[in-house]
Amino acid sequence: MAKPPKRTTGPRRSARTDGVPPGIFARLPQNTPLGRWSKALTDAQRLELYSWMRMTRTLEERLVALYKQTKVVGGLFRSLGQEADAVGSAYALRPRDILSPLIRNMGSMLVKGATPLEILRQYMAKGDSPTRGRELNIHFGDLERGFVGQISHLGDMVPVMAGVALSFKLRNEPRVVLVYVGDGATSTGAFHEGLNFAAVNQVPLVCIVENNGYAYSTPNRKQFAGEWFSDKAAAYGIPGVRADGNDVLAVYDATKDAVERARSGGGVTLVELVTYRRKGHAEHDNQSYIPPGELEWWAANNDPIDRYVERLTTEFKVRPAELAAIDARIAAAVDAATDEAERSPMPEGPDALVGVYADPPVMPAEWYREGVTKAVDRHERPASWGTSGGE
Amino acid sequence: MAKPPKRTTGPRRSARTDGVPPGIFARLPQNTPLGRWSKALTDAQRLELYSWMRMTRTLEERLVALYKQTKVVGGLFRSLGQEADAVGSAYALRPRDILSPLIRNMGSMLVKGATPLEILRQYMAKGDSPTRGRELNIHFGDLERGFVGQISHLGDMVPVMAGVALSFKLRNEPRVVLVYVGDGATSTGAFHEGLNFAAVNQVPLVCIVENNGYAYSTPNRKQFAGEWFSDKAAAYGIPGVRADGNDVLAVYDATKDAVERARSGGGVTLVELVTYRRKGHAEHDNQSYIPPGELEWWAANNDPIDRYVERLTTEFKVRPAELAAIDARIAAAVDAATDEAERSPMPEGPDALVGVYADPPVMPAEWYREGVTKAVDRHERPASWGTSGGE
Amino acid sequence: MASEITYLEAIREALDEEMQRDPNVFLMGEDIGAYGGAFKVTDGLLAKYGESRVIDTPISEAGFVGAAAGAAHMGMRPVCELQFIDFISCAYDILTNYVATARYRAFLPCPMVVRGPSGGYVRGGPFHSQNPEAAFLHTPGLKIVYPSTAEDAKGLMKAAIRDDDCVLFFEHKYLYRRVKGVMPAGDHVVPIGKARIARAGTDVSIITYAATVYKALEAAEQLAAEGVSVEVLDLRSLLPLDDEAIQATVKKTHRVLLLHEDTRTGGIAGELSARINETCFAWLDAPVLRVAAADVPLPYAPPLEDYVLPQTADVVKAVKHLIAW
Amino acid sequence: MASEITYLEAIREALDEEMQRDPNVFLMGEDIGAYGGAFKVTDGLLAKYGESRVIDTPISEAGFVGAAAGAAHMGMRPVCELQFIDFISCAYDILTNYVATARYRAFLPCPMVVRGPSGGYVRGGPFHSQNPEAAFLHTPGLKIVYPSTAEDAKGLMKAAIRDDDCVLFFEHKYLYRRVKGVMPAGDHVVPIGKARIARAGTDVSIITYAATVYKALEAAEQLAAEGVSVEVLDLRSLLPLDDEAIQATVKKTHRVLLLHEDTRTGGIAGELSARINETCFAWLDAPVLRVAAADVPLPYAPPLEDYVLPQTADVVKAVKHLIAW
Ligand SMILES: Cc1ncc(C[n+]2csc(CCOP(=O)(O)OP(=O)(O)O)c2C)c(N)n1
Ligand SMILES: Cc1ncc(C[n+]2csc(CCOP(=O)(O)OP(=O)(O)O)c2C)c(N)n1
Ligand SMILES: [Mg+2]
Ligand SMILES: [Mg+2]
């Protein structure tokens, strides 16, 4: 070829404490200057953002209480410290847009219309929960409201949501799809195949990498030899963006840029939101693997709600009383939802046989249950016994 | 965070004909200036490179003849026009280094010591072929000589070879691993998981992407929304390199840089070799999907052997007679190997049962074969017939 | 006046008719567009329906099978081609965990078809000859069909595309161009879950599917000459199985041979044997026997492949053993 | 004086002893190092053996299982932990196509173990309760073990690590801390391919493995009170199966109940039923019956999971049915 081979070099790794964005200790976080979209937010919308973040935290705290009372069946997953990335990104969608949450995106689901009652019932495995007790925690969805339930297998939602986006493109619907993955999930083959498929087909998809520093106990440096997950965009020929995941307005701006680019035919964007997981992978995780001081530093210096409250009350002149009123309304709502969820019945065993297929609608019960004996009735041997050959 | 979010943008796509590197029609290919390694090659070594390229082409042409005589069982895969990338890259390895070839890397295997006789017997499914007739074409290996047989499933060799490299690292052996993938195989999840695993563990692995413009009938633009596959290195935090795959000395330099960096603990490198697949995916493929003129252009203007011969005879003052002598020697060797391979016996059926496991060494033959009846001897019902309960 | 077409053409005809009938039906796969697919099953469909309904994908089985599920949730009816069914293993996670459970755990409809050339007897070696059906048999939520005739290939493909759940559609590449049939007139749909009596008989039942149906029929022919009347049941659908038809033939002949191309251990014959035992025990005059591939990866050289795969002579020998019982 | 340890501790002890014995043994998996694994099976091993022998991996099951194969070719003996066995589906292609065939097609040894917490009865829902063994049963080249006792967990793990082929080692998470045992002194290795009589009896045989061994034993206890003598055979190894032991118990009791936690359709009981039929037909006084999970994804709510999975009462009822036959 004409020009001599060019060497492009991968990102250098800057020294940093595991899982903590470089320089995060160097300076205290500063808010990103308002962008095109956040500038246009009304007072009411800014308060709405606040309420979703507060609702997320309050509801999760309630779940912790229920978990301690062993009323939660299975594990409990927190998004403490990540409320801004979940809420701000989902807020960038329109009603007909669809997202697929991760385990730490309860906030995104709330924005999309999931109710505390649904979530409480899910965690308690109630028969009237959205999945009728079939799936755990926030693994549920509603196409009407615009969220698709995830499965546990990390990465799989990327190709699936790429397909949802493909259907929008094929039908020329001006709708956008948002799929969340964690820093850890970016290592899966499904993430790679799904994102590449989406990029090649230029479907309206935004993939958000929530970089919270850890995958269970695994710090970023054991997950990825590079520095920023947004650099992975180059592998798909798509734009890669990075934003402060604990600045809800920055999250909103960065996500909305990508969402509206997708809506206008601009294809796929990879958005990295840098945040921090302040609780363990799940409630049982004692976080013994976290370097000393790290948790405390984030709690003290970079809590997304504290930062937003500070900003609302100073920059946007919101009166503390307004926020207090919102908090009270949310607390009451969560109380009411808890009482109702606790009253909900557990599912009935036989419901487990319903709806595996559209046809047949119900699977047969095992013969040794409820006097079903068909499959093994004592056989009456026909006349032809012994003689070989048939009737 | 301190600084406002930085946007890193994916590579722009420059207009080009499907599968043809941009600008390739703009200028005739020019040889890359000699690098550190190729400068150090002796006359004998430069001729050795030539012989392996010639051997590759001559042997494949022989296989085509045998294929037409239906003496080849199964498909035949050509590397016409890609001999330089296969030979030049493998030549950068030391004897104890290990590579895993792709279907178009017969040349790499020859460099590593595979013989024409072995390859001919493989293609003819002979009982004394390296896999005793179990696997097809060049799907065979030899750890001693340093090549691992690939399987058909694309991408899978990347994690496997990452593991071979891991064993070298764990044992502090100064050995390097080279794994080949095609442009198409970069879309697989296995490629992604394997390369990321290798990068994170900084194992001595070099991954070569042979960009030959097509995956079967699929042009690059339907495989990847970016421009160069070397850009994918950023997704793994490793260096990405690109070289003219039809310039055997450039291939050698670029690969050897990566190989020696790996040997000295520098970890993984992604090397893109830009070449062109002049034959169909396999012999049966009529290439109807290729834009008019493309094949002809490459044959006329960018044949790696023609380019190297030109260079040898001018730049390196090799006498045409020397090359002719090599060609003759190779032709004779291939003739002899062909005769011997044709004399080889086909395998015996029962050998199919041998060596699935170390223990048991042989699988049982089906009872209806060779009078084996054990499994279904006519049962003699014991005295206890009819009475329930045992002896 | 309908003329004979091949098994392969029958599949193409079904795809074509369904794409014509329903604009939500579209195809995805590697090299299925301009090239028409490795076996040319989709040949001509790109020209007819365009790039938005015949989509060439990157080499990403999990990627496009997963994308099919997402599109299916939104009302599309994707049909995915695996270039060889052997590569379905790369989509195993997505199919068994995501697709199969979508309706049950999330009430998400997932109407999609995953199809591809399967099976051996073609010197394809260990990675181009597989029969992966048994690996999906214990995955509730999936359906599996594996036709042996051109008529069924067409009729089952149409049923699969119209089914509201995911159907794995195995096509036997040995049969692609070897078997032909005249398509029934009109909208020819073969219901999923119904077996077919390929040959009626009274002494022994051979229960099989796909390419080995023909081994069974050849054996039946030879045995007829010796006065043995063999009934051959072609399952066609493997999930759900046609228990009625299976029980009917067992209760008719009292002797059963299960025949398939997959390995003996872990092949579908195990499930069949268990069901027959549970429901027809007293009708059995002899043990239910299996003729299947040896428990080895399928080798490539003709003498090896022939030795590993079930042959007509094996079937004849096994049937005689049952008769002599 | 050896004291009781749990099933989980027994596995850890086996890993520890084998790492001590053979420097080529090393561990890979997600969160197995500092964290000690999701269930703490590898707890303490990082401190003892260091980062080069206890490797935390990215979330890439195909990546590190594939890497294990490459390392195994070179003489290492990797043991891979899947955080939950449910994620083995992500390595299905590598395991069935690359690993299982390596020795056969390329004469490459592939001594490796793939282990992980499996099974239900723990309210884990559809993706943390799976029993994938049947999906690998028709893959020649793999071995499969699934212990039910602490002693077997240790002895089989040691055998698996020393085996020259790939062994899938399923650990039942319900048993991790519920069952305990005193480890036999010395180098305790349990041979792969040998079943174990968990309880001797004369009237009916229950053939099972893993957690349902305890359902069988509970049922046997209840039935003994009613004068029914039940023999319980714990398979321990699923590939290869112990045909001798299976035939011996069938020929002893003439009545067989197959019991497992996997779904009825496509579960391993099918293969067992077929083998029993082929080899012990004339000894059977009743049909071989199956008690297994209903054919649905495993739901999460306690009443649903309890309804879907086999319970002791189901086993009792099925045994009585066999006796009454
Ligand atoms: C394919 C797969 N492998 C392993 C797991 C087990 N697992 C569940 S969550 C988790 C960590 C996820 O980390 P990340 O993607 O960063 O998300 P985060 O929890 O930090 O939000 C792991 C390993 C899984 N769910 N899927
Ligand atoms: C996982 C997988 N999917 C599909 C195939 C079928 N297949 C074999 S070769 C090939 C094209 C490979 O293209 P590329 O990687 O560019 O290599 P090239 O043939 O160009 O050298 C395809 C799709 C395969 N072998 N493996
Ligand atoms: Mg994370
Ligand atoms: Mg290519």
**Residue C128 designated active-site:** yes
A71 min Cα distance to partner chain D (Å): 12
Q: Which residues of chain B neighbour A232 with C-beta distances below 8 Å? A: 234-235
pLDDT computed for residue A380 by the predictor? 53
pLDDT at B22 exceeding the cut of 70: no
Ligand 2 atom with the shortest distance to the CA of B156: 1
Catalytic center residues of D: 128
Residue B19, ligand 2, Cβ within 6 A:
no
Question: Cα of B274 to ligand 4 centre, how many Å?
Answer: 10
CB within 8 Å: B1 and A13: no
Peptide linkage before D299 cis (omega within 30 of 0): no
Q: Do D285 and B390 touch (CB under 8 A)?
A: no
Chain A residues in contact with C71 by the CB 8 A cut-off are 163-164, 166-167, 170
Q: Report the gap between the CA of B40 and the closest CA in chain A (Å).
A: 19
Q: Spell out which residues of chain D touch residue A19, defining contact as CB-CB under 8 Å.
A: none
What does the pLDDT look like over D166-177, one tens digit per residue? Answer: 999 999 999 999
Cβ of A375 within 8 Å of Cβ of C279? The answer is yes
Region A131-146: mean pLDDT is 97
Residues of chain B neighbouring A233 (CB-CB closer than 8 A): 8-10
Q: Residue D265 and residue C277: Cβ atoms within 8 Å? A: no
Stretch 227-256 of chain A: residues touching chain B, C-beta under 8 Å: 227-228, 230-244, 247, 250, 254
pLDDT for residue B14 is more than 50: no
Question: Does residue B272 register a pLDDT over 50?
Answer: yes
What is the rounded CA–CA span in Å between residue B94 and residue B168? Answer: 14
- Look at residues B366, D292, D92 and name the one whose alpha carbon lies nearest to residue C135: D92
- Tell me, in angstroms, the distance from the centre of ligand 1 to residue D113's CA: 22
Instruction: Out of B230, B237, B247, name the one closest to residue A8 (CB).
Output: B230
Query: What's the pLDDT band for B15 if we cut at 50, 70, 90?
Result: very low
Verify whether ligand 2 is closer than 6 Å to residue B102 (CB atom).
yes
pLDDT interval class at D161 (50, 70, 90): very high
DSSP-assigned letters across all residues of A97-122:
-EEE--TT-HHHHHHTT--HHHHHHH
Judged against a pLDDT cut of 60, whether residue A7 lies above it is answered with no
Min Cα distance C250 → chain A (Å) is 9
Does an H or E element contain D26, and which?
A: strand D25-29
Please give the average per-residue pLDDT across D290-303, as a whole number: 98
A385: closest chain C residue by CA:
C283
Question: Residue C263's closest chain B neighbor by CA?
Answer: B366
Q: Determine whether the shortest distance from the Cβ of B172 to ligand 2 is under 6 A.
A: no
- pLDDT higher than threshold 80 for residue A263: yes
Spatial distance between the Cα atoms of A53 and A5, rounded to a whole number of angstroms: 50
Helix (H, G, I), strand (E, B), or coil: what is residue A158?
Answer: helix
Nearest CA among C62, D299, A339 for reference residue B155: C62
Average pLDDT over every residue of B43-55: 98
Q: Identify whether the C-beta of residue A154 lies closer than 8 Å to the C-beta of residue A168.
A: no
For residues D17-46, give the mean pLDDT.
98
Out of C141, C255, C281, the one facing A388 most closely (by C-beta) is C255
Ligand 1 centre distance from Cα of residue A188 (Å): 10
Strand-pairing partners, residue B181, are: B209
Q: What angle do CA C298, C300, C306 make, to 5 degrees?
A: 70
Confidence of residue B372 (pLDDT cuts 50, 70, 90): low
Query: Could you give the C-alpha distances from D96 to A73, B171, B193, D142, in angstroms and in order?
Result: 35, 28, 17, 8
**Quick check: D93 and B194 CB within 8 A?**
no
Cα(C212)–Cα(C69) distance, rounded to whole angstroms? 32
User: Which of A3-12, B253-262, C12-21, C120-129 is predicted with the least confidence, judged by mean pLDDT?
Assistant: A3-12
pLDDT in tens, D271-286: 999 999 999 999 999 9
Pick the closest to residue D263 from D151, D141, D129, D148 (CA basis). D129
Mean pLDDT to the nearest integer, A165-189 = 98
Is residue A241 pLDDT above 70, yes or no?
Answer: yes
* Nearest ligand for residue A80 CA: 1
Are A204 and A175 a contacting pair, CB within 8 Å? yes
- From the list B155, B216, B378, which residue is nearest C35 (CB)? B216
**Which of C85, C90, C304 to probe by mutation at the B interface, max B CB count within 10 Å?**
C304
* Distance between C310 CA and the closest CA of chain B, angstroms: 10
Q: Residues of chain C with pLDDT > 90: what percent?
A: 99
Per residue in C58-101, pLDDT (tens digit) is: 999 999 999 999 999 999 999 999 999 999 999 999 999 999 99
Q: Per the CB < 8 Å rule, is C100 touching D297?
A: yes
Contacts of C55 in chain A (CB under 8 A): 201
Q: What is the pLDDT of residue B390?
A: 34
- DSSP H helix total and E strand total for chain D: 12, 14
On the question of pLDDT at B278 being above 80, the answer is yes
Cβ atoms within 10 Å, residue B26: 8
CB-CB under 8 Å, A366 with D314: yes
Is residue C83 within 6 Å of ligand 2 at its C-beta? yes
What's the confidence (pLDDT) of residue A385? 40
Query: Tell me, what's the pLDDT at B29?
Result: 84
Of the pLDDT bands very low, low, confident and very high (cuts 50, 70, 90), residue B257 is very high
What confidence score (pLDDT) does residue A29 get?
Answer: 83
Contacts with D128 from chain A: Cβ below 8 Å: 152
Would you say B250 and B39 are in contact if contact means Cβ atoms under 8 Å apart?
Answer: no
Length of chain A in terms of residues written: 391
Q: What is the mean pLDDT of residues C167-189?
A: 97
- Whether A299 has a pLDDT exceeding 70, the answer reads yes
B381·D165 Cβ contact <8 A: no
CB contact under 8 A, B349 and C325: no
Determine whether the shortest distance from the Cβ of B329 to ligand 2 is under 6 A.
Answer: no
Query: Is A20 in CB contact (< 8 Å) with chain B?
Result: no
**Gap from C58 CA to chain D (nearest CA, Å):** 18
**Mean pLDDT, chain A, integer:** 90
Mutational pocket test of ligand 2: of B209, B216, B218, the residue with most ligand atoms within 8 Å of the beta carbon = B216
Number of the ligand closest to the Cα of B82: 2
